[in-house]
Structure 1
Amino acid sequence: MPHTRSWLPGDRDADVCIVGAGYTGLWTAYYLTRADPSLRITVLEARFAGFGASGRNGGWLSGLVPGDRHAMAREHGRDSVLAWQRALNESVDEVTDVAAREGIDAGIVKGGTLQIARNPAQAKRLAAELAEEREWGNEGLQELTTAEAAQRIRFDGVAAAYHTPHCARIQPASLARGLADVVEGLGVQIYEQTPVTEIAAGRATTKRGTVRAPIVLRATEGFTAGLPGLKRRWLPMNSSMIATEPIGPDVWESIGWDGRETVGDMAHGFFYAQRTADDRIAIGGRSVPYRYASRTDVDGKVPERTIRHLSAVLHDVLPQVRDVPIAHGWCGVLAVPRDWSAGIDLDRSTGLGWAGGYVGHGVTATNLAARTLADLVLKEKTPRTDLPWVGHRSKTWEPEPLRWLGVRSLYVAYKLADRHESGGRATTSPIAAVADLITGRP
C-alpha cells in the first residue's frame, strides 16, 4: 500500500494549484519546480497519488500518439504531426532518464513492442499499420516472420508480426509513487484524501478548504466527468487487467520473452501485455468499457466475468501458462474525448489550464503534456507549445442514453467482428468498419 499523506488542513494560497496527483499532475509539478524552485505549488488529490489510471495501466511507456494523426495533419499540417510523433518517441527516453536521475525504481526495460496478428484479416491490418507508422516517421520498425516472432516470444497461432523500439516496460504504480515522493522532496505540497468539488478562476474548492492560486490546472483524466459542468467533456473508459502468479523458469524457457517487450494484438477487442519485473504476465483489455452516466469503477474492483475473459485470452495465446493461477485482477479509468484526440490548454484570461484525454496512450504522453503545460505556465515559447494538441478542444459527448448505447454498440460490434474474422476471412469485417465510422474512432 502507498504511504498516505495528510489532507488539506484548511484554506491555502499558492502560485500554482494542480488538481489530480496522477502522471499529468505530478510531472507538471516536477517540471515547474525544477524550472523555478521559488514557485509555491499545491497538488490536490481525491484519494492518493497514482490512484487512477496512472497506477493501474498496462505499463507501456510508448510513443503511441493519443489522437488522430490524419485529422491533426489536415488542421495543422503534416510537419506539425511529425514533430508531435518525434516528441513522443523522445519522451520515452525522457521518462527513463528522469527515473534514473531521481532514483525512481519503476522496473523500466526498453524492449520495444511486439505487435502480433493471429488471422489473415488481422495480418492485413498489421501490414497497413506498419506502413502507416513508417509514414509518420517512426524509424527502426522491423517486420518479422513468424519464426522471428517466435524467437522473441512463442505465442500460439501468430500469422504476422512487427517490432517497434519505441516503448519500454514499466511498473506503473512504482513510477507514480516514486514521482510523488520526488516532487514532495522538492517542496511541492501534495494533499491526499481531498476531493475537489469545483474548479474556478483563481481557486480550487474542496470540503476541507479552498486553495487560491492565479493558475489552476486540471489533471483529472478519467475522473473529469465528476466535476461540475464537465459531465460530457470526456468519456471515462474502463480498462481491466489481470496478473498471474510469478512464473517459474521452466515455463519461461518454453515461452521466451527475454527481451521484456510489451505485446499487443490486432484484434478489434485488442489485448496488451507485459512480462513484469517479478516474472508474472500482466494482460489487459476492454471487457466492460463504459458504465452508464459516466460512472467509474469502485476502487479498481473488476467483475469476475472480466477476469474469466482475460484469462481465456491469455490461455489462448500462451497455452503454456494454463496451469499458472491468476493472482490479481483490477481495472482503471481513462479519458476519451469525442474525437479520440487529447488536448492541452491554458487560458491566460482566467488562469485555468488542463491536459488529458489520452485515449489509453497516456503513460508517455502525460510527460510531454506536463512539460508543455509547464512551458505555458512559465510563458515560454518552445517547440512543444507549437505541437498540434496545444489548444485542441473536442466537442462534447452525446447525452445519455445515446452515449451508453453508442459505446456499448461499438464494443459489441467489435466482438462480433473478431468472431467474424476468426473464421479465416482475408479482410477486416465490415461490422468493425461500420462501427468505426459511426463512432468517429480513428
Structure 2
Amino acid sequence: MKTGYTYVQRTICTLLLFTLIAAVTLGGGTAAQAASLSQSTVYYESDGVLYKVSADGSNTTEVLIDFQGVDLHAAGSYLYYTQTASSTTLLRVPNDGSSDAAETFATDVLSYYTDNGFIYYLDATGTIYRANGNSDASTVSKIADKADTDFPFLLVAKGRAYYNALVNGNTWIVSKTSNGSGAVQRIAAGAVEGRYFTNQAKNELQLMVNTDPYEDFYSTNAVVMYKVNYNTGKATAVNPKAKLDVNAVYSGGWGNNLYVYNKGIDLDSNKDYNYAKGKAFALTTSAKTLQLHNKSIREVSALGTDKVVLIDADKKAYAKTVSGNKVTKSANLNLNNVTYVANQLTNGTATAAYISGNNGLYSVNTALKVTKLTGDEWDAFHIRDDVAGLFYINAKDQYRLYHVQTGGTGKKVMSDVFLDNILLVTPY
C-alpha cells in the first residue's frame, strides 16, 4: 500500500500519472491517528495565489500572493516546495500568510522529504542534510554523504533515512539513522528508483530494488524484493534467485504484503506499456508467487488487510481477496472505462479505495461496496491518509473546491474562487 497523499488530474496521461504518483506519494510521513476535518488543512492555488482552508470549509487564508510552485511539503509551520518540477532551488514560506515572499532554503537540491517536523534534502554533491522545519537554513546538519546523484532517491521512515549510495563506486540502497548518528547500513546492491517502489508495512519497509539500474535499453530480470526491519535496519531478500523483469515490475504496484507485476508485458510502438500482453501475477513477502488476474493490470491498490483492487487492461475494476498465498475470491466491481485507483489509510489500514474514470469518481470500502461520489464534473482530486473523504475540483461549478465523505454523504463546497490545483492536504 502507498501511504501519504495522492493528487490526480483528470486529463493527465498514463505515463505522466505514473511519474506524478511516484514523486508525491509518501511525502510527509503518516499521521499517528486519524484527524478530524476541523484539524486538517487543504492548500490550493487559484490564479497565482496560494490559499489554505480548514478541511471542514472554515478559516480560508491567503498564504502567499504571486505563488508559483509544485511538490508542496509541510514541516513545522513552513511549506517547502520548488517553483517547477525541474527546479533544484528549494523554497519555503510560512503557512500562516505572514510573509510577502518565499525565501530560498537550499540550492542544487535533487530530492527532498519531510517527516515529523523535519525537512531532509539531498543535493548535487551527494550530501543529505536535515533541519527542524521551523529553523533557519543556517542550522542544517549533514546526516549522510556519498549518495548516488544518478539515482537521487530519499525516504525517511521510522527514524531511518533510506537512499541510494555509492559504495566502492557501485550503486547500493542503504540506510542510516535520520539524525545522522551511527554507521551506514547496506541493504542491497542496486537502486530503488522512486518512492513508488517502497511500501511502509507495519513492521518492515518493503522495497523493489533494481539490481542493474544502468541498463536502460533492455528489460532484464533484475528486480529483487527486500524486507527491511525498521528497528535493526537489517534486510532480507525475498526472491534473490528468481529476479523479476523490470517492465513487469514497473508496470505494476503494491498490494497487502505483495507486489503485483505484469508477466509477459512489453512496450508498444510508442514505448508505452502494452497492457494487451501479459497476465498479472503477485510476489508475496513470503516468497510465494501466484496468478492474480488473467490479464495485465494498469493500476492496483491494497484494501483492508487481505484485498487488492485493480484496474485491468480493459479498464475494468476488480477486487481480489488473497489468503494462504492464493486468490480465494474475485469480485467484479462493475465499473468500466476507469483508469486509476488509490487507497486511503486510517490508522495504518487501507479503509477505502478510490477509483477514477471519465464518468466519475467512486469509493470502495472493505466490504467491497461501491459508491459513486461524483459524476463527470470532476477535474482533479486529492486524498490524504487519516483525513476522511476526498477533495476535488468541480468543473461544472466554476472549478471550485469540494469535499465529499467516503460513503458519498456530506458533499460540500469549500471555496469561493476557482482552483488551478489542489496542492496539499495535511492532518493538522
TM over 0.5: no
Task: Give the number of the structure with larger relative contact order, counting CA–CA contacts within 8 Å between residues 6 or more apart.
Answer: 1
In terms of fraction of residues, the more helix-rich structure is: 1
Using the size of structure 2 for normalisation, the TM-score is 0.24
TM-score scaled to structure 1, two decimals? 0.24
Give the structure with the larger strand fraction: 2
